[in-house]
Amino acid sequence: MRVVQLSMMAGVLVLAAACGGGSPAGATRGPTSGAPTAAAACTGSGGTAVQAVDFAFNPAAATVAVGGTVTWTNAGAAAHTVTFTGGPDCGRINAGASVSRTFDAAGTFAYVCTFHPATMSGAVVVQ
């Protein structure tokens, strides 16, 4: 009985971690491979707007100038994330909430919603 309880508890912890449990938008999770923390990288507002709606990012690709900002707004009911390849993870974005990131270098920055990676991916092209 005790083994089953511990096994179930471990499963709940893994599920909570996979779903971003306890990580509000903009929460600092610490650097990943030298990437800035989410709080440092995913703040601000304004700029180019991207919506998370119907389990897709719209538009899927946004283009900004160096120094430009992109703001993602969750226009649906389900929670989403904006998680960049190599970091940062901007945390859980609940319905109606927004998160922003300012891009200080040129390049293409790919991202996904870690809750729905099969259908929710996008990129920011910084020129």
Instruction: Kindly indicate the confidence band of residue 111, based on its pLDDT and cuts at 50, 70 and 90.
Output: very high
**Considering the chain, what percentage of its residues have pLDDT values greater than 70?**
68
Least reliable range by pLDDT among 14-18, 78-82, 88-92, 93-97:
14-18
In the predicted structure, residue 13 carries a pLDDT above the cut 90:
no
Query: What pLDDT is attached to residue 7?
Result: 40
41: its two tokens: 């990288």
| pLDDT computed for residue 43 by the predictor | 77
State pLDDT tens for residues 24-70: 333 322 333 334 444 447 877 789 999 999 899 999 999 999 999 99
Which helix H or strand E contains 108, and what residues bound it?
strand 107-112
34 domain-assigned: yes
- Domain assignment present for residue 99? The answer is yes
CATH code of the domain covering residue 79? 2.60.40.420
In a domain, 7, yes or no: no
Per-residue pLDDT at 50: 97
- 86 in any annotated domain: yes
Does the residue 105 lie in any domain?
yes
Query: Pick from 98, 90, 54: which is nearest to 74 by CA?
Result: 98
Q: CB of 81 within 8 A of CB of 113?
A: yes
Torsion of the alpha carbons at 95, 96, 97 and 103, rounded to the nearest 10: 110
Flag whether 2 is in a domain: no
DSSP for residue 65: -
Listed in sequence order, the DSSP H helices in the chain are 2-18, 38-41
Is residue 8 one of the residues assigned to a domain? no
| Closest-CA residue to 126 (of 53, 79, 51, 70) | 70
Q: What is the mean pLDDT of the chain?
A: 75
Instruction: Classify residue 9: in a domain, yes or no.
Output: no
- Read off the pTM: 0.68
State which residues form the domain around 102: 23-126
SS3 8: helix
pLDDT at 64: 96
Total structural domains within the chain: 1
